[in-house]
Homo-oligomer: A and B are copies of this chain.
Amino acid sequence: MAETLDPKNWLELTELGQRIVAEMADHLAGIRDRPVWQPVPAEVRDELKSEALPVEGQGLERAYEDFRRLVLPYPNGNIHPRFWAWVQGAGDPAGMLAEMLAAGLNPMLAGFNQSPALVEARVVEWLSELMGFPRGSSGMLVSSGTMANLLGLAVARNARAGFDVREEGLQGQVPLVVYCSKETHGWARKAVEVLGIGNRRLRRVAVDDSFRMRMDELRAKVLEDRAAGLRPVCVIGTAGTVNTGAVDPLEELAEFCDSEKLWFHVDGAFGALARWSEKLKPLVRGMERADSLAFDLHKWGSLPFECACLLTRHAEAHRAAFALSPAYMTATDRGVLAGGVPFADLGIDLTRGFRALKAWVCLKTHGVRKYAAVIDDNVQQVQHLQRLIDASPDLQLMAPVALNVICFRYAPARIAAERLDDVNEELLLRLQESGRAVISSTRIGERFVLRAAHVNHRSRDEDFDELVSAVLAIGEELR
Which residues 5-22 in A have Cβ within 8 Å of B in the complex? 5-7, 10, 13-14, 16-18, 20-22
**Most chain B CB atoms below 10 A, which of A4, A201, A337, A357:** A4
Can you name the residue of chain B whose Cβ is closest to the Cβ of A58?
Answer: B364
Q: Which 3 A-B pairs have the closest CB atoms?
A: A196-B196, A169-B198, A305-B353
0/1 interface trace, chain A 60-97, chain B, CB 8 Å (1 if under): 10111011001111111111000001101111111111
Can you name the residue of chain B whose Cβ is closest to the Cβ of A298?
Answer: B351
Can you name the residue of chain B whose Cβ is closest to the Cβ of A196?
Answer: B196
A27 touches B104 (CB 8 A): yes
Q: CA of A169 to CA of B185 in the docked complex: distance in angstroms?
A: 19
A369 touches B56 (CB 8 A): yes
CB proximity of A172 to chain B, nearest CB, Å: 6
A370 touches B57 (CB 8 A): yes
Q: A37-B336, A171-B176, A442-B328 are in contact. Are A75 and B363 (CB under 8 A)?
A: no
**Most chain B CB atoms below 10 A, which of A77, A145, A322, A335:** A335
Q: CA of A16 to CA of B93 in the docked complex: distance in angstroms?
A: 11
Q: A93-B13, A336-B432, A357-B67 are in contact. Are A103 and B113 (CB under 8 A)?
A: no
B146 touches A367 (CB 8 A): no
Q: CA of A335 to CA of B37 in the docked complex: distance in angstroms?
A: 9
Q: Does A105 contact B (CB under 8 A)?
A: yes
CB proximity of A399 to chain B, nearest CB, Å: 12
A351 touches B20 (CB 8 A): no
Q: Does A479 contact B (CB under 8 A)?
A: no
B55 touches A368 (CB 8 A): yes
Would you mind naming 9 contact pairs between A and B with Cβ atoms under 8 Å apart? A7-B93, A13-B93, A63-B94, A64-B97, A154-B194, A165-B196, A187-B350, A298-B351, A334-B433
Q: CA of A167 to CA of B197 in the docked complex: distance in angstroms?
A: 9
Which residues 279-334 in A have Cβ within 8 Å of B in the complex? 296, 298-299, 302, 304-306, 308, 322, 324, 326-330, 332-334
Q: Does A147 contact B (CB under 8 A)?
A: yes
0/1 interface trace, chain A 172-183, chain B, CB 8 Å (1 if under): 111110000000
Q: CA of A127 to CA of B478 in the docked complex: distance in angstroms?
A: 46
Stretch in A115-123, A205-213, A218-226 with 4+ CB within 8 Å of B: A115-123
A104 touches B93 (CB 8 A): yes
For the A-B complex with A54-B363, A54-B368, A171-B197 known, give 15 more contacts whose Cβ atoms are closer than 8 Å.
A7-B94, A10-B28, A21-B100, A40-B113, A40-B114, A48-B115, A57-B365, A74-B114, A103-B358, A147-B349, A169-B175, A171-B171, A189-B324, A327-B442, A332-B429
Interface size class of A (residues with CB under 8 A): 35 or more
Copies of this protein, total? 2
Stretch in A409-417, A456-464, A468-476 with 4+ CB within 8 Å of B: A456-464
A361 touches B115 (CB 8 A): no
Q: A196-B195, A363-B54 are in contact. Are A3 and B457 (CB under 8 A)?
A: yes
Q: A78-B106, A328-B242, A367-B58 are in contact. Are A101 and B3 (CB under 8 A)?
A: no
Chain B residues near A1 (CB-CB < 8 A): 460
Chain B residues near A27 (CB-CB < 8 A): 104
Q: A116-B75, A324-B189, A336-B37 are in contact. Are A60 and B460 (CB under 8 A)?
A: no
Which residues 393-412 in A have Cβ within 8 Å of B in the complex? none
Q: CA of A25 to CA of B11 in the docked complex: distance in angstroms?
A: 8
**Most chain B CB atoms below 10 A, which of A96, A121, A330:** A96
Chain B residues near A459 (CB-CB < 8 A): 2
Q: CA of A111 to CA of B188 in the docked complex: distance in angstroms?
A: 20
A374 touches B165 (CB 8 A): no
A348 touches B108 (CB 8 A): no
